[in-house]
Amino acid sequence: MSIINNFNFIKEKISSLNCGVTEVIAVSKTFSLVKIMPLIEIGHIHFGENKVQEAKQKWSGILSENKSINLHLLGKLQSNKAKEAFKIFNFIHTLDNCKLAKILSSLEKDNVRKINYFVQVNIGNEIQKNGIDYNLATEFIKYCRFDLLLNIIGLMCIPPLGHSSSSYFKKCKELADLNNLKELSMGMSNDYIEAVKNGSTFVRIGNSIFGERFT
């Protein structure tokens, strides 16, 4: 199947669930512009990258020409890369600590540009994974929203491997509702159907659109 066919198949699957509007973030990390351009040409606007430097090199020219594209940072953001990320990304899905939040707040105070943020929650409390501890998430969300005045629009999570994703997606949805957050960044190629059924408004899909990565 072609990239466009893959993309349309996923959109149709999501639509058939009748669970509301869910945006597809085409995770374009490691893929060249040659692979990405077909989606841009049909008007798709949501793309995801993991690394600031790769995104800057790949997207800077296109973003200057096409203002409708929304670039999503899906990978861990180091504090020393925050300033560069702030210039190029429209959405950051991996806000998970006070140091980074303070830096981003400071950048916004000195700039007319504003970014949409997801707080990444370590939904399975896994030592090896990024994200704010589930039990500390509500306090952190309030700090970011009301003290730092960041536009926290929702939560992002990655369920533990080898477990049922659905129960973790449900838990994340409940936390979002508790904090009056409308957006949820949940679900990837292997579990986006379960994510949508549990309220995800953004799914992050790479391989099922572009094919396997070889780097």
d(CA 78, CA 157): 18
Output the pTM of the full model. Answer: 0.95
User: What is the C-alpha R_g of the chain?
Assistant: 17
Specify burial of residue 159 (Cβ count, 10 A radius: 0-12, 13-18, 19+): buried
Does domain 3-210 fall into CATH 3.20.20.10? yes
Which pLDDT value is given to residue 214? 56
Distance CA 161, CA 129 (A): 11
Q: State the DSSP H helix or E strand holding residue 196, giving kind and residue range, or none if neither.
A: helix 192-197
The pLDDT assigned to 12 comes to 96
88 CB contacts (<8 Å, ≥6 apart)? 52, 55, 56, 59, 60, 63, 71
Per the CB < 8 A criterion, the answer to whether 121 and 175 are in contact is yes
Closest CA to 97 of 77, 72, 71: 77
pLDDT at position 125, please? Answer: 83
- pLDDT value of residue 129: 86
Q: Tokens 């939040």 sit at which residue?
A: 101
What's the pLDDT score for residue 185?
98
pLDDT in tens, the chain (215 residues): 699 999 999 999 999 999 999 999 999 998 889 899 999 999 999 999 999 999 999 999 999 999 999 999 999 999 999 999 999 999 999 999 999 999 999 999 989 999 999 999 999 888 888 999 999 999 999 999 999 999 999 999 999 987 789 999 999 999 999 999 999 999 999 999 999 999 999 999 999 999 876 55
Alpha-carbon span 119 to 94, nearest angstrom: 6
Give the C-alpha separation, 83 to 103, whole Å: 8
